Amino acid sequence: MDTTTLERFSLNGSEDVVRVRLAVRTWMRANGFTLLQQTKMVTATSEMTRNCVTHGGGGSAELQQLRDGERLGLRLRVADQGPGIADLPLALQGGHSTTGCLGLGLSGSKQLVDDFEITAEPGKGTQVHITQWR
């Protein structure tokens, strides 16, 4: 599988969330992803980058193009140096929030994209990879 880095972002505020989202949508539209695939990936991107900004204290994101034979995919990697997640299985169940929001971002995003990987050990920051295939 070939991986090419498309763009890197630093995430510090909600305007950065919008920037990454826009880059995701623009690239997917140009590469023939369906409107549904775009909307799902854009929404998951929004959740992950916003988590990074609100809960992780900011971090960085990277967009990668994946090519596996005929298949074309887009992967977003988001990383922060924040507190991590104390109870990851609980956070992934959905409907659980420590900060008064809906608590659906993680669990929901997992449903939205094709691949979802997360590591979030307490004290070691959070790293999320989400991938949407065409």
Cβ-based neighbours of 83, under 8 Å, separated by 6 or more:
55, 56, 122, 123
Name the residue with tokens 């997917």: 28
Among 9, 11, 38, 82, binds other proteins (CB under 8 A): 38
Tell me whether residue 40 or residue 75 sits nearer to other proteins (CB atom): 40
> How near is the Cβ of 37 to other proteins at its closest, in Å?
9
Burial tier of 80 (Cβ tally within 10 Å: 0-12, 13-18, 19+)? buried
Which 49-88 residues touch other proteins, going by CB under 8 A?
A: 50
| Contact characters 83-122, other proteins, x per CB under 8 A | -----------xx-----xx-xx-xxx-xx----------
Instruction: Provide the 3-class DSSP secondary structure of residue 77.
Output: strand
Closest CA to 89 of 123, 126, 120, 130: 120
Contact residues: other proteins, CB under 8 A: 14, 18, 21, 25, 35-36, 38-40, 42-43, 46-47, 50, 94-95, 101-102, 104-105, 107-109, 111-112
